[in-house]
C-alpha cells in the first residue's frame, strides 16, 4: 500500500486552497474533520461490539466445557 508523504499532502492542500479559496478552506477542513471523527467513532463502536461478541462466545464455550467435564 503506498504511503502519503508530506509533499503529497502539501500538494493536495495547495490545490484545495486554489479550488475552494482561502475563505472556504477552513470551513471545509472543519467539515472533513467532523466526518473523520464520526467515522472513527462508528468504527470504534463496531470494533467494541465485535470484541464483546467474541468475549461472550468464549465465556459461553467455557461454561459448556465445564458442564461437559462434570
pLDDT per position as a tens digit, 26-68: 999 999 999 999 999 999 999 999 888 877 777 776 666 666 6
pLDDT per position as a tens digit, 11-20: 999 999 999 9
C-alpha to C-alpha distance for 69 and 41, rounded to whole angstroms: 42
Supply the pTM of this predicted model: 0.60
Q: What 3-state class would DSSP assign to 54? A: helix
pLDDT at 66: 66
C-alpha to C-alpha distance for 5 and 25, rounded to whole angstroms: 21
Q: Where are the domains of the chain?
A: 26-70
Amino acid at each position: 500500500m503506498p504511503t502519503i508523504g508530506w509533499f503529497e499532502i502539501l500538494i493536495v492542500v495547495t490545490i484545495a486552497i486554489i479550488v475552494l479559496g482561502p475563505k472556504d478552506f477552513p470551513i471545509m477542513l472543519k467539515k472533513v474533520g467532523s466526518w473523520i471523527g464520526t467515522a472513527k467513532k462508528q468504527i470504534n463502536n463496531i470494533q467494541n461490539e465485535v470484541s464483546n461478541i467474541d468475549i461472550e462466545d468464549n465465556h459461553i464455550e467455557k461454561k459448556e466445557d465445564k458442564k461437559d467435564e462434570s
